[in-house]
Protein backbone atom coordinates (compact mmCIF):
# COMPACT_ATOMS: atom_id res chain seq x y z
CA UNK A 1 0.00 0.00 0.00
CA UNK A 2 1.36 3.39 -0.98
CA UNK A 3 1.98 5.96 1.72
CA UNK A 4 0.12 9.26 1.94
CA UNK A 5 3.24 11.03 0.66
CA UNK A 6 3.39 8.75 -2.38
CA UNK A 7 -0.31 9.11 -3.16
CA UNK A 8 -0.13 12.87 -2.79
CA UNK A 9 2.85 12.94 -5.18
CA UNK A 10 0.97 10.80 -7.71
CA UNK A 11 -2.04 13.11 -7.58
CA UNK A 12 0.14 16.21 -7.79
CA UNK A 13 1.66 14.86 -11.01
CA UNK A 14 -1.83 15.11 -12.53
CA UNK A 15 -2.39 18.67 -11.35
CA UNK A 16 -4.16 21.18 -13.59
CA UNK A 17 -3.81 24.60 -11.98
CA UNK A 18 -6.47 26.34 -14.05
CA UNK A 19 -8.89 23.56 -13.26
CA UNK A 20 -8.03 23.79 -9.55
CA UNK A 21 -8.86 27.49 -9.40
CA UNK A 22 -12.10 26.96 -11.29
CA UNK A 23 -13.17 23.84 -9.42
CA UNK A 24 -12.58 25.25 -5.94
CA UNK A 25 -15.18 27.90 -6.69
CA UNK A 26 -17.64 25.41 -8.19
CA UNK A 27 -17.46 22.87 -5.36
CA UNK A 28 -17.32 25.61 -2.73
CA UNK A 29 -14.19 24.60 -0.82
CA UNK A 30 -11.54 26.90 0.70
CA UNK A 31 -8.87 28.12 -1.71
CA UNK A 32 -5.76 25.97 -1.63
CA UNK A 33 -7.43 22.85 -0.23
CA UNK A 34 -7.35 20.90 -3.48
CA UNK A 35 -4.69 19.72 -5.92
CA UNK A 36 -6.57 20.20 -9.17
CA UNK A 37 -7.04 16.65 -10.48
CA UNK A 38 -9.85 16.19 -12.97
CA UNK A 39 -12.46 13.61 -11.98
CA UNK A 40 -11.82 11.05 -14.77
CA UNK A 41 -8.13 10.95 -13.84
CA UNK A 42 -8.95 10.57 -10.17
CA UNK A 43 -11.38 7.73 -10.89
CA UNK A 44 -8.76 5.93 -12.96
CA UNK A 45 -6.16 6.44 -10.24
CA UNK A 46 -8.52 5.00 -7.60
CA UNK A 47 -8.95 1.83 -9.67
CA UNK A 48 -5.20 1.55 -10.16
CA UNK A 49 -4.52 2.07 -6.46
CA UNK A 50 -7.01 -0.64 -5.49
CA UNK A 51 -5.37 -3.08 -7.90
CA UNK A 52 -1.91 -2.32 -6.52
CA UNK A 53 0.06 -4.59 -4.24
CA UNK A 54 -0.96 -4.52 -0.60
CA UNK A 55 -3.89 -2.12 -0.99
CA UNK A 56 -5.64 -1.59 2.34
CA UNK A 57 -8.81 0.48 2.78
CA UNK A 58 -8.09 1.03 6.45
CA UNK A 59 -4.67 2.46 5.60
CA UNK A 60 -6.23 4.73 2.98
CA UNK A 61 -8.82 6.02 5.44
CA UNK A 62 -6.02 6.83 7.89
CA UNK A 63 -4.82 9.51 5.44
CA UNK A 64 -5.58 13.13 6.45
CA UNK A 65 -8.82 14.50 5.02
CA UNK A 66 -7.84 18.13 4.45
CA UNK A 67 -7.28 17.73 0.69
CA UNK A 68 -10.38 17.50 -1.51
CA UNK A 69 -8.97 14.80 -3.80
CA UNK A 70 -8.08 12.58 -0.85
CA UNK A 71 -11.69 12.65 0.31
CA UNK A 72 -12.80 11.85 -3.24
CA UNK A 73 -10.23 9.06 -3.47
CA UNK A 74 -11.51 7.39 -0.31
CA UNK A 75 -15.07 7.45 -1.63
CA UNK A 76 -14.06 6.21 -5.07
CA UNK A 77 -12.08 3.36 -3.54
CA UNK A 78 -15.06 2.21 -1.49
CA UNK A 79 -17.24 2.36 -4.57
CA UNK A 80 -14.87 0.41 -6.79
CA UNK A 81 -13.39 -2.17 -4.44
CA UNK A 82 -14.74 -5.68 -4.65
CA UNK A 83 -16.15 -7.10 -1.41
CA UNK A 84 -19.45 -8.57 -0.22
CA UNK A 85 -22.04 -5.81 -0.14
CA UNK A 86 -22.82 -6.46 3.52
CA UNK A 87 -19.15 -5.82 4.33
CA UNK A 88 -19.22 -2.61 2.34
CA UNK A 89 -22.05 -1.02 4.35
CA UNK A 90 -19.81 0.23 7.20
CA UNK A 91 -17.42 1.73 4.65
CA UNK A 92 -20.30 3.53 2.98
CA UNK A 93 -21.10 5.04 6.35
CA UNK A 94 -17.52 6.24 6.73
CA UNK A 95 -17.76 7.92 3.34
CA UNK A 96 -21.02 9.64 4.25
CA UNK A 97 -19.28 10.98 7.35
CA UNK A 98 -16.62 12.52 5.07
CA UNK A 99 -19.12 14.51 3.04
CA UNK A 100 -18.72 18.25 3.39
CA UNK A 101 -20.00 19.33 -0.02
CA UNK A 102 -22.12 18.30 -2.96
CA UNK A 103 -19.15 17.14 -5.04
CA UNK A 104 -17.96 14.46 -2.61
CA UNK A 105 -21.56 13.33 -2.12
CA UNK A 106 -22.47 13.12 -5.77
CA UNK A 107 -19.23 11.48 -6.89
CA UNK A 108 -19.68 8.80 -4.25
CA UNK A 109 -23.26 8.19 -5.37
CA UNK A 110 -22.06 7.81 -8.95
CA UNK A 111 -19.66 4.97 -8.05
CA UNK A 112 -22.16 2.97 -5.97
CA UNK A 113 -23.75 1.32 -8.99
CA UNK A 114 -23.91 -2.04 -7.22
CA UNK A 115 -26.70 -0.69 -4.99
CA UNK A 116 -29.07 -1.48 -7.89
CA UNK A 117 -28.37 -5.16 -7.19
CA UNK A 118 -29.06 -4.73 -3.47
CA UNK A 119 -31.89 -2.22 -3.40
CA UNK A 120 -34.01 -3.96 -0.80
CA UNK A 121 -31.05 -4.37 1.53
CA UNK A 122 -29.88 -0.78 1.13
CA UNK A 123 -33.22 0.99 1.41
CA UNK A 124 -33.19 0.87 5.25
CA UNK A 125 -29.70 2.40 5.13
CA UNK A 126 -31.00 5.26 3.01
CA UNK A 127 -33.87 5.76 5.44
CA UNK A 128 -31.39 5.85 8.30
CA UNK A 129 -29.22 8.48 6.64
CA UNK A 130 -32.24 10.63 5.80
CA UNK A 131 -33.51 10.15 9.33
CA UNK A 132 -30.33 11.71 10.70
CA UNK A 133 -31.58 15.04 9.40
CA UNK A 134 -28.07 16.15 8.42
CA UNK A 135 -27.48 18.11 5.23
CA UNK A 136 -25.21 15.78 3.30
CA UNK A 137 -26.49 12.52 4.79
CA UNK A 138 -29.91 13.52 3.48
CA UNK A 139 -28.57 14.63 0.11
CA UNK A 140 -26.76 11.30 -0.16
CA UNK A 141 -30.03 9.49 0.44
CA UNK A 142 -31.96 11.52 -2.11
CA UNK A 143 -29.30 11.23 -4.82
CA UNK A 144 -29.09 7.47 -4.25
CA UNK A 145 -32.88 7.20 -4.59
CA UNK A 146 -32.66 9.20 -7.81
CA UNK A 147 -29.93 7.03 -9.28
CA UNK A 148 -30.92 3.54 -8.12
CA UNK A 149 -34.61 3.49 -7.17
CA UNK A 150 -36.43 5.34 -9.94
CA UNK A 151 -39.07 2.67 -10.48
CA UNK A 152 -42.80 2.76 -9.77
CA UNK A 153 -42.60 0.15 -7.02
CA UNK A 154 -40.38 2.45 -4.95
CA UNK A 155 -42.50 5.59 -5.27
CA UNK A 156 -44.21 5.15 -1.87
CA UNK A 157 -40.81 4.94 -0.15
CA UNK A 158 -39.45 7.86 -2.18
CA UNK A 159 -42.39 10.09 -1.25
CA UNK A 160 -42.27 9.07 2.42
CA UNK A 161 -38.56 9.85 2.60
CA UNK A 162 -38.98 13.16 0.76
CA UNK A 163 -41.44 14.20 3.45
CA UNK A 164 -38.57 14.01 5.94
CA UNK A 165 -36.34 16.47 4.07
CA UNK A 166 -34.75 19.07 6.33
CA UNK A 167 -35.02 21.78 3.71
CA UNK A 168 -33.47 24.49 5.83
CA UNK A 169 -30.21 23.09 4.43
CA UNK A 170 -29.41 24.26 0.89
CA UNK A 171 -27.96 21.00 -0.43
CA UNK A 172 -30.73 18.94 1.16
CA UNK A 173 -33.40 21.05 -0.47
CA UNK A 174 -31.63 20.97 -3.83
CA UNK A 175 -31.24 17.19 -3.65
CA UNK A 176 -34.91 16.75 -2.74
CA UNK A 177 -35.99 19.05 -5.58
CA UNK A 178 -33.79 17.16 -8.04
CA UNK A 179 -35.33 13.87 -6.94
CA UNK A 180 -38.88 15.21 -7.29
CA UNK A 181 -38.08 16.57 -10.74
CA UNK A 182 -36.90 13.14 -11.88
CA UNK A 183 -40.05 11.55 -10.48
CA UNK A 184 -42.08 14.06 -12.50
CA UNK A 185 -40.19 13.16 -15.65
CA UNK A 186 -40.62 9.40 -15.18
CA UNK A 187 -43.98 9.22 -13.39
CA UNK A 188 -45.79 12.48 -14.15
CA UNK A 189 -49.20 11.62 -12.71
CA UNK A 190 -47.82 10.24 -9.47
CA UNK A 191 -45.37 13.13 -9.17
CA UNK A 192 -47.97 15.84 -9.67
CA UNK A 193 -50.31 14.14 -7.20
CA UNK A 194 -47.47 14.17 -4.66
CA UNK A 195 -46.75 17.87 -5.24
CA UNK A 196 -50.36 18.75 -4.49
CA UNK A 197 -50.40 16.98 -1.12
CA UNK A 198 -46.80 16.98 0.12
CA UNK A 199 -45.75 18.87 3.27
CA UNK A 200 -42.68 20.41 1.62
CA UNK A 201 -42.48 24.18 1.45
CA UNK A 202 -42.82 26.44 -1.56
CA UNK A 203 -39.06 26.74 -2.01
CA UNK A 204 -38.60 23.01 -2.61
CA UNK A 205 -41.78 22.50 -4.64
CA UNK A 206 -41.03 25.44 -6.91
CA UNK A 207 -37.43 24.37 -7.46
CA UNK A 208 -38.60 20.86 -8.38
CA UNK A 209 -41.08 22.31 -10.85
CA UNK A 210 -38.39 24.55 -12.33
CA UNK A 211 -36.02 21.61 -12.79
CA UNK A 212 -38.72 19.43 -14.33
CA UNK A 213 -39.81 22.20 -16.71
CA UNK A 214 -36.21 22.54 -17.91
CA UNK A 215 -36.25 18.91 -19.07
CA UNK A 216 -36.65 18.01 -22.74
CA UNK A 217 -38.44 14.83 -21.63
CA UNK A 218 -41.72 16.57 -20.77
CA UNK A 219 -44.26 17.98 -23.21
CA UNK A 220 -45.24 21.63 -23.30
CA UNK A 221 -48.65 20.65 -21.98
CA UNK A 222 -47.06 18.93 -19.00
CA UNK A 223 -44.76 21.88 -18.37
CA UNK A 224 -47.67 24.32 -18.41
CA UNK A 225 -49.57 22.16 -15.96
CA UNK A 226 -46.57 22.09 -13.64
CA UNK A 227 -46.40 25.86 -13.79
CA UNK A 228 -49.94 26.01 -12.45
CA UNK A 229 -48.85 24.00 -9.39
CA UNK A 230 -46.27 26.51 -8.23
CA UNK A 231 -46.78 27.76 -4.69
Domain coordinates in residue numbering, the chain? 1-111, 138-231
* 127-159 per-residue burial string, b: 16 or more CB within 10 A, e: under 16: eebbeeebbbbbbbbbbbbbbbbbeeebbeebb
pLDDT given at position 120: 95
Distance CA 128, CA 150 (A): 19
Distance CA 94, CA 61 (A): 9
The set of residues, in sequence order, having a beta carbon less than 8 Å from that of 12 and lying 6+ positions away, is 35
How many Cβ atoms from other residues are within 10 Å of residue 109's Cβ? 24
pLDDT given at position 231: 87
User: Which segments of the chain have a pLDDT < 50?
Assistant: none
Amino acid sequence: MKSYKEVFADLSAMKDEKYRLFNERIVNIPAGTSIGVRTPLLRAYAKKLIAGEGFDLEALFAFPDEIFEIRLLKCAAVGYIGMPFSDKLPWIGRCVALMDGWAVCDLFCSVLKEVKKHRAAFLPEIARYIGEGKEFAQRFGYVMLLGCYMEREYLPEIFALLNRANTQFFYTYMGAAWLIAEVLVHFFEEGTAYLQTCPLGAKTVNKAIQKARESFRLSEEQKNYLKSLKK
